[in-house]
Amino acid sequence: MSRADILKIITIVVTFLLFIPLFQSLLFQNMADGKISINREIKVPFLPYSEKKLSLLFFGYYGCSDVCTPFLEKLSTIYESDVFKSYKKDVDIYFVNLNPAVKKHNPDEFAKYFNQNFQGIYLTHNEIMSIDREFGLYHTSSLRDKSKINHTDNLYLLEKSNGKFKLKHIYFSKLLKADVLSKDIAAEN
């Protein structure tokens, strides 16, 4: 195989990986609720102990301005809304950092910038690699700017029962609505 053939293959693979989030959004954009319901057990050893039954997880990286900042602002608005008010006591909201190169306290500071009740979680490189399949995450360094990470922008609702977690729903960030999220949280309580 020639060097040109190898470069073509690499270009095709990288292009495909860069467009996965776009294809994902387009494929599911006609879903009325903007979510996928799953209901399967999932391993989340990185979550801190909590008495709360439900957890919302968003995966991104500290300093992300393209995806994470607008979504965390939207999530904070939903969290502070009248529709969500009665569920605050039942749900932990986590921002899970996908960049192990940051300081351990940075993800929590980033999450709390948007809402003091949000919690940021730092993961090591090995922890990140162990969860990407578990959650169906896509994340890779940007080809144009190595300080940026292209990543899936979904919100995950987990339910805890008897010390085990179930992934209940995956919400598409661009389609997330307070009433849909609140209804699902009420149904899981």
Fold of domain 3-188? Glutaredoxin (3.40.30)
Report d(CA 173, CA 164) in Å as an integer. Answer: 25
Predicted confidence band of residue 30 (pLDDT cuts 50, 70, 90): very low
Question: Residue 161: in which H helix or E strand, if any?
Answer: strand 154-161
Residue 158 amino acid letter:
L
**Chain Cα centroid distance, residue 139:** 11
Average confidence (pLDDT) over 32-53? 88
Mean pLDDT in residue range 56-81 = 92
pLDDT digits (tens, 9 = 90+) for 79-88: 999 988 899 9
Amino acid 75: pLDDT? 95
Mean pLDDT of 176-185: 90
The phi and psi torsions of 149 (rounded to 5 degrees) equal -125, 125
**Tens of pLDDT, residues 95-105:** 999 888 899 99
